[in-house]
Structure 1
Amino acid sequence: MQKLCIQKITIKNSPAFKEASFYPSLHFNVFSGASGAGKSVLMESVLALFGLRETNATFLEATLDLQGIPQEFEGLIDEGEVVLTLSKKDKIRYFLNAQNIPKKKIQELFTPFLKHLSTKSYDAANEQNLFLTLDGFIQSKNQAYQQILQNYKESFLHFSEAKNTLKTLQEEALKVAELKEFVRFEIQKLETLNPKKGEYEELLVLKKEISKKEKINESLQNVREFLNQSHKVSEFLNLINSDESDSILNALNLLESLCEQEGERLETLEMRNIEEILNRIEALSALKHRYGGVDEALEYLENKKQELQKYENLDSILKDAQHSYNRAKDTLQARAKVLTEAREKHLSDFENALNLALTSLKMPKAKVVLKTLLEVESYTLLGAQNLAITLNTALKNLSSGEFNRFRLALLLAQSAQTNHQAIIILDEMDANLSGEESQGVANALKALSTSYQIFAISHQPHMPSLANTHFLIQKQPNGSTITPLDKQGRIQEIARMISGDSITKEALEFATKQLSTLQCN
């Protein structure tokens, strides 16, 4: 179960409030006051706290009751009481229980819980949101519907993956002959060169040795001429009876052995074709430049062999992909049929609930139409249908006031069962409405406040008369204040809203009667 409600809000250094705190009701909160007192500034601050507006204050903080944390946020915060803080100094920072959290994460966490109904918000008219409302209504009536919806979405994603795989293989099949020829050429080129691990480095060493061969040979000849005179060294050592005779003669023997070994090595080098070695080094150097090294070239060769094998087996792979696509398509169609039937079954009840809400809001009745898509390729993640709702005109042609009352009707029709599943924020929802229309909006918000925590600005008396908590915002020399009104204060403020600053006896009587008749204490 997911729900969110605000228990306390603190604002510091905004355009209207130097410092202010208030404790909203869990249900219907209405804010009134003279123009310019700071009501809209307050709502902007609330939206900024959840990352939905740029902040207009240096410090914002809310104590929240948060239940049902999305899986991707588990471990980041715990359920229950959460303190959300926004601080603006050198830059803007968000904190959850004193833990620094990026703004994007704040938006991802809280946006599903917030519904901001402003005079410029037309997002509810898109088909995705209309389906969300319809599906929400059906879920409140049918416990098995959530699983039906989930099964369809899983099948759609599986079908989309199978379709994309098949399409890719079909495209490859069209150019497979060209691809096979190219891959064969790449393989043949590498296999002809037949590089070995460490060969390039060994050839560089060999090249260096060959380049020194003439100098080594010349020096070897000089040493051998010296060794040809070694008998004279032996005679000298015998004549002087030196104690070092044996070690010197042993050293000369060792030198002679070394010369023999080096001579054999030079003969071997003489047999090597230097031109072939240089050509080989050049070829391996080009390989190194292209692939990064011999090891990388060998890995590339292995990958190309596997790629060629895939092309050789493409017919079999393509056949398997076609079977997977057909199975995914059959499953999707079967689950789409179950989803469609569930929607069709509850469509009339949804339309009736929507029209009941529209009637209470003094709006014309709506027609809800589900059109089944014939081709499975036309299915979307939303289902195998198109959903359209029209009143006496298309939704896009409604005025902003009419459209926001339509949004309220959608919320009412959804028949939400979970208390405080979200927060609704409204900025002068009843502006430019007739008294009868304004009363309808107030009644709708009162009904919604059993399922939502509502924050609303109003310049008419109907919302304040039904609110659980009525806050008066007043402009003061040291910054505006937010004051929760008692019954007498509410009567005075409602009377002011009716008659203006010069409060009349009739306005007071009307306000008293409204609160006595309508307000739930």
Structure 2
Amino acid sequence: MIERLLIKNHLSFEACDIEFTKGLVVFTGPSGAGKSVLLNGLLSLFGYGDVQADMIEASVDKALNLEAFGIEEANPNIFKALKAKNARYFINAQAVSKKGMMDISKGCVNYLSIKDNSEFENSRLLKLLDGVSVREEPLHVKNVEAFEALYLSYKTLKEELETIEAEEKKVEDLKEFARFEIAKIDEVAPKIGEDEELLSFKKSLSKKEKIEQAMHKAGEIFSLESSVNDVLSLIEADSAFFDACMNELRLLFEKQHETLEALEEIDVESLLDRIEKIAQLKKRYGSIEEALAHKQKRLEELERYENIGFEKAHLAKKVASLELEIHEKAATITASRVAALPRMETSLNGYLAQLYMPALRLRLEQGGLCENGWDVLHVNLGTVDLKRISSGEYNRVRLAFLATHNEFLLSDGGVLILDEIDANLSGKESMSVANVLKTLSKKYQIFAISHQPQLSSRADQHFFVTKDTLHVSRVYALKDEERINELARMVSGESVSEEAILFAKSLLENEMK
């Protein structure tokens, strides 16, 4: 549950510090006071929408397996959002992304939006039906998990088979292209490091004439060698350093002469042509190493193309075997779901009856094979399509599904934030919604904005949101007489009548029974 909420500078709210209890938490107040603003601020902390506040912080008393996300668990866990130019999110003082915040929050916070109809997606309907099926067949959930893993293996192998079948149709073209690329690389037959060696030769060739001229002129130093030795002898200086230097110079000149002679034998045109071919190869593949690696890859592909018939037959056999096993398992799962269908229908219709809604009928049909099996669950509300019912009716149907989900799938509770769940309902209908939410609040901590006194009277905690003359919103918990007056205001408007007060008292007295 959320124990505490702190907000600073969130649109019309300058600051608020609220402590919450378990159960049903209801916010009421005049239109435009800031009820939706407050709940939207709470939602934005958990990644639902954009953060508009300077700071939002909530204490969440629930173990969330944060270690799996690389975050240290605390008691309570502190969720925080800060906004300067951009919003930043933190859990227990460790930064997380908005997506990370939303992924983690899904473990404790559920948001039922008036615009969201994802509850009726086939995968979610089947998940609920599977939860009901476990009551009838305890091994059902393991069968579903095993089927999902098997289906993913089957899907991967089938995709591989389809790829091979597509390749087989154009295998001759692929083989011809592979041979072409291999031949192009073999035509150049590059060696690792050859490009650097060739460029070195080219550089030497470009300087050959200048080197020869310079060496010819500098070679005159050797004709003066004996004269230098005579001078050193006359002045009685050791000539060893000079002799060593001249010998080293002589070796250097001899080596350069050999290089120049080798350059004489080089075919310049062939050298430049070779450099150009290597350059073209590098332009296409990046480097000589990458060109040789590409050649090896093409050789392996060519070998595979030669064996594609064998590979296809082997894969086709595995796919056929898996397909047979999948169909058997899918049939087993369908049988369990069909057996559980009446129980799920009875549960849903029990809640719908409480909500003054007509009974629905569930129908399971076979559709395309996927990780959920081949079942498609259809929901018919009397003779009316779910897409054509009013928003008030639609919300009550969703509430029935939520209550059934709570009954069969929810074990450790969490937080449920509702969006206008009792809007556009009569008093009787509103009370029916309040009763179902009260039941749900035994496992969920529920936050709701109420438009009706019936739901507000069932609240475990009732907050009033108001806006002063400076257009600053405030929120505070109502007690005793304050709560009676607010319920009466919801009944009769700003001019509270004695009858409204009596009705408000009767609602609260009924709640206390």
Fold-level similarity (TM above 0.5)? yes
Q: Residue deviations 1:13-49, cap 9 Å, x none?
A: 3344332222222111122223333222222222122
Instruction: Report the counterpart of residue 491 of structure 1 in structure 2.
Output: 484
Task: Select the residue among 319, 333, 337 that pairs with 2:331.
Answer: 337
Task: Select the residue among 22, 40, 63 that pairs with 2:36.
Answer: 40
Residue 162 of structure 1 pairs with residue 157 of structure 2: yes
Instruction: Report the counterpart of residue 193 of structure 1 in structure 2.
Output: 188
Cα distance in 1 for residues equivalent to 2:490 and 2:220 = 125
Secondary structure of the equivalent of 2:60?
Answer: strand
Instruction: Report the counterpart of residue 304 of structure 1 in structure 2.
Output: 298
Shift of 1:445: 0.7
Are the structure 2 counterparts of residues 397 and 113 from structure 1 closer, same or farther at C-alpha, using a change threshold of 3 Å? Answer: farther
Cα distance in 2 for residues equivalent to 1:348 and 1:137 = 10
Residue 463 of structure 1 pairs with residue 458 of structure 2: no
Cα distance in 2 for residues equivalent to 1:481 and 1:245 = 103
Instruction: Report the counterpart of residue 399 of structure 2 in structure 1.
Output: 408
Residue 386 of structure 1 pairs with residue 376 of structure 2: yes
Cα distance in 1 for residues equivalent to 2:219 and 2:60 = 97
Q: Which amino acid is 2:186 matched to?
A: E
Instruction: Report the counterpart of residue 59 of structure 1 in structure 2.
Output: 55
Are the structure 2 counterparts of residues 252 and 242 from structure 1 closer, same or farther at C-alpha, using a change threshold of 3 Å? Answer: farther
Cα distance in 1 for residues equivalent to 2:466 and 2:263 = 101
Cα distance in 1 for residues equivalent to 2:167 and 2:359 = 54
Counterparts of 1:207-286 in structure 2, within 5 Å, are 207-210=202-205, 268-286=262-280
Are the structure 2 counterparts of residues 12 and 142 from structure 1 closer, same or farther at C-alpha, using a change threshold of 3 Å? Answer: farther
% identical equivalent positions: 36
CA contact (8 A) 2:64 2:108 kept: no
Task: Select the residue among 19, 23, 42 that pairs with 1:23.
Answer: 19
CA contact (8 A) 1:420 1:450 kept: no
Shift of 1:202: 2.4
Q: What is the aligned length?
A: 507
Shift of 1:345: 1.6
Q: Residue deviations 1:156-181, cap 9 Å, x none?
A: 22121111111111111111111111
Instruction: Report the counterpart of residue 369 of structure 1 in structure 2.
Output: 363
Instruction: Report the counterpart of residue 465 of structure 2 in structure 1.
Output: 473
Normalization by structure 2: what TM-score?
Answer: 0.87
Secondary structure of the equivalent of 1:513?
Answer: helix
Shift of 1:121: 3.0
Shift of 1:245: 13
Are the structure 2 counterparts of residues 184 and 351 from structure 1 closer, same or farther at C-alpha, using a change threshold of 3 Å? Answer: same
Are the structure 2 counterparts of residues 140 and 87 from structure 1 closer, same or farther at C-alpha, using a change threshold of 3 Å? Answer: farther
Shift of 1:113: 3.7
Are the structure 2 counterparts of residues 252 and 334 from structure 1 closer, same or farther at C-alpha, using a change threshold of 3 Å? Answer: same
Secondary structure of the equivalent of 1:429?
Answer: coil
Cα distance in 2 for residues equivalent to 1:68 and 1:251 = 80
Instruction: Report the counterpart of residue 445 of structure 2 in structure 1.
Output: 453
> Is 170-179 or 61-70 further displaced after alignment?
61-70
CA contact (8 A) 1:416 1:451 kept: no
> Is 502-511 or 150-159 further displaced after alignment?
502-511
Are the structure 2 counterparts of residues 506 and 313 from structure 1 closer, same or farther at C-alpha, using a change threshold of 3 Å? Answer: same
Secondary structure of the equivalent of 2:79?
Answer: strand
Are the structure 2 counterparts of residues 203 and 339 from structure 1 closer, same or farther at C-alpha, using a change threshold of 3 Å? Answer: same
Cα distance in 2 for residues equivalent to 1:48 and 1:290 = 51
Counterparts of 1:113-124 in structure 2, within 5 Å, are 113-124=108-119
Shift of 1:79: 5.3
Q: Residue deviations 1:225-270, cap 9 Å, x none?
A: 999x99x979x98xx9998999899999999988887766665554
Are the structure 2 counterparts of residues 54 and 176 from structure 1 closer, same or farther at C-alpha, using a change threshold of 3 Å? Answer: same
CA contact (8 A) 1:351 1:368 kept: yes
Secondary structure of the equivalent of 1:60?
Answer: strand
> Is 176-185 or 27-36 further displaced after alignment?
27-36
Cα distance in 1 for residues equivalent to 2:239 and 2:484 = 127
Q: Which runs of 5+ in 2 are unaligned?
A: none
CA contact (8 A) 1:368 1:390 kept: yes
Residue 126 of structure 1 pairs with residue 117 of structure 2: no
Q: Which amino acid is 1:21 matched to?
A: D
Cα distance in 2 for residues equivalent to 1:282 and 1:189 = 14
Cα distance in 2 for residues equivalent to 1:199 and 1:253 = 33
Instruction: Report the counterpart of residue 6 of structure 2 in structure 1.
Output: 10
RMSD of equivalent CA atoms: 3.5
CA contact (8 A) 1:118 1:404 kept: no
> Is 379-388 or 241-250 further displaced after alignment?
241-250
Cα distance in 2 for residues equivalent to 1:484 and 1:251 = 100
Cα distance in 1 for residues equivalent to 2:250 and 2:90 = 83
Secondary structure of the equivalent of 2:417?
Answer: strand
Shift of 1:127: 2.1
Are the structure 2 counterparts of residues 56 and 276 from structure 1 closer, same or farther at C-alpha, using a change threshold of 3 Å? Answer: closer
Q: Which amino acid is 2:48 matched to?
A: L
> Is 282-291 or 381-390 further displaced after alignment?
282-291
Q: Residue deviations 1:347-375, cap 9 Å, x none?
A: 110011111111111111111111123xx
Shift of 1:446: 0.8
Q: Which runs of 5+ in 1 are unaligned?
A: none
Residue 327 of structure 1 pairs with residue 321 of structure 2: yes
Cα distance in 2 for residues equivalent to 1:8 and 1:63 = 5
Shift of 1:273: 3.4
CA contact (8 A) 1:119 1:401 kept: no
